[in-house]
Amino acid sequence: MTATTDGSTGAVGPRAAAASEPTDTTTAAAGDLLVAARRATARSVEHLLGQQDAQGWWKGDLETNVTMDAEDLLLRQFLGVQDPRTTEAAGLFIRGQQRADGTWATFYGGPPELSATIEAYVALRLAGDSPDDPHMKRAATWVREQGGIAAARVFTRIWLALFGWWKWDDLPQLPPELIFFPKWFPLNIYDFGCWARQTIVPLTIVSAKRPVRPAPFPLDELHTDAGAPNPVKPLASVASWDGMFQRLDKLLHAYHKVAPRRVRRTAMNAAARWIIERQENDGAWGGIQPPAVYSVIALHLLGYDLDHPIMRAGLESLDRFAVWREDGARMIEACQSPVWDTCLATIALADAGLSPDHPALVKAADWMIAEEISRPGDWAVRRPELAPGGWAFEFHNDNYPDIDDTAEVILALRRVRHPAPARLDAAVERGTRWTLGMQSRNGAWAAFDADNTSPFPNRMPFCDFGEVIDPPSADVTAHVVEMLAYEGMAQHPDTRRGIEWLLAEQEASGAWFGRWGVNYVYGTGSVVPALTAAGLPVTHPAIRRAVRWLESVQNDDGGWGEDLRSYREEKWIGHGASTASQTAWALLALLAAGGRESAAVERGVAWLAETQREDGSWDEPYFTGTGFPWDFSINYHLYRQVFPLTALGRYVNGEPLASGAISRKGS
């Protein structure tokens, strides 16, 4: 990999144009394209402005998969708080997501997924669908063909164990005594990523209590053999990680039978205190649905009545994850993204040419400044001396500010001419200081924690639901480097370490892996603008390799797309149906690399202009966001709007720093 930040001498040079001026024969066509791009930009600006909330924020729907909806119904059944209207609406949504073969997928156009299909099937049984209905028979047949419930993920089997449809003895054990592990000890709770940590702590209580509610119906039709639903599987080799953790799990099961009552009770009470201390002002936990669900269950098992203020606030917060659709269906969001959506919308509108003091931008800046987090959170476990600052992803998540959001919020705020500049500057300076302090030892940045890279959590039999640690990623590191560069810190030693890490992480193809967006198109679309903002010349070998890769994967229609299967199968890398957001990511990289006049950019801009809807938006059923690569995918409904507008704006108006769209500190 490239070891220096310059193509030859090691010094960072100025931006340079990599593309030549258009010839006379292309001038007319380029002029027509510019007119079309300006028209598309204006329509998109109008559409996006119309979506802003009166308080200044934007929030698009965050669509995931039907397990959110199924587990919401299972929770209501477990707590005895189900109601006909909610059940009917959830059933309508889940039924509408079923495919012709009877299965459910976890992303649009994806393959059928066993656990999602099982949970959706059970939810429809709760909604009143008969196992003899044709759509239910198709689902059950497919589940049995895939190995039945025994082949499902651990979390699915936990939900079934709550009703006696699965044995607790046949689940991995997760003891609440985990809460006692010191922070230096392997597999302490802070070795897990924040999303996993918030889920695992309440589940240790559930695992210890092993509750069983009366099952409203049997599920024999989902077993390959109802008489032996969990066939014995041989253990992996004792010399392997899997084999070691499987045997450790057997020891934990044995300990569960003899655990001293006083020790266990003390552990569960300590876990409960940990949970309660992290409940947010809106009643949720971490701003995401799964920890809220399991926290409510855990506290209820410890005797908290549903009318207790903590429980009441938690249940009310879960209702706020519901999106009621015009057809009467009810979709559950796994999370809500107002801070992320608002900073991206602000960047898009500013780069599209909206005046920096436009009321919409000032109102957005006011809202973002008010959302700054001013108290320590779990991140302080590894950074105890670091002063708080930064922003989270959600409305309320003060315990877990997000490095990615913080970088983008700062980039957004710098695009606004605020009537109280000192207030804005102070928030930016605190956020910048906090971000620098969250750099990992290798020079890069993760999303929530520093140095959250233990190799052990992902090995646990319990953790089969996706990524459970938070290592640094190219996309987050790129956004931080870009922000630091625009803050006049391109030569800061920490910025240089981040750049060196990014250069070392470039794939042989020229692309970068995308952790929080799909996938190499997102990673590359994030890194190239960061490197050029930090001063790498567009002639740098790493930039040219990235450009060649993007040009090589452009679709025949002029757009870009990458299927989520690229996380699993090499043949999908850089390939998939064209989408508005992924086309925009590719364009942002190519524009930053000096390719405004290139054929690839012109074809991409033309695709965006041609596929725009009359109302100024774009259609995008494909999932281009990532929670856990492959295991949990997201369709951010605002991505189809903010990223195309940003790309069109930069095509029309130039790069934000060069065009004066962003104020650079120290310049």
Please name the residue that has the structure tokens 């925009």: 584
The closest of 586, 462, 566, 584 to 515, measured between CA atoms, is 566
Residue at 164: amino acid letter:
G
Please name the residue that has the structure tokens 């059940």: 87
Residue at 97: amino acid letter:
Q
DSSP H helices, 534-579, are 541-552
Q: What angle do CA 89, 92, 94 make, to 5 degrees?
A: 110
The closest of 568, 571, 446 to 516, measured between CA atoms, is 446
- Active-site hit among 249, 404, 470, 563: 404
The closest of 590, 35, 39, 45 to 350, measured between CA atoms, is 45
Interatomic CA distance for residues 373 and 371, integer angstroms:
6
Active site residue 404: yes
Residue at 135: amino acid letter:
H
Interatomic CA distance for residues 385 and 366, integer angstroms:
29
Angle, helices 114-126 vs 67-79, to 10°: value is 40
Asked if residues 192 and 291 have their Cβ atoms less than 8 Å apart, the reply is no
Q: 531: which residues sit within 8 A by CB, 6+ positions away?
A: 478, 481, 499, 502, 503, 540, 542, 543
Look at the alpha carbons of 162, 165, 169, 172 in this order and tell me if their dihedral is positive or negative: negative
Question: CA dist 13 to 492, 533, 595, Å?
Answer: 15, 11, 18
The encoded tokens of residue 502 equal 């990014």
Rounded to 5 degrees, φ, ψ at 560 are -125, 150
Q: Is 420 helix (H, G, I), strand (E, B) or coil?
A: coil
DSSP lists the bridge partners of residue 279 as 285
Asked if residues 481 and 530 have their Cβ atoms less than 8 Å apart, the reply is yes
Q: Which residues are catalytic?
A: 404
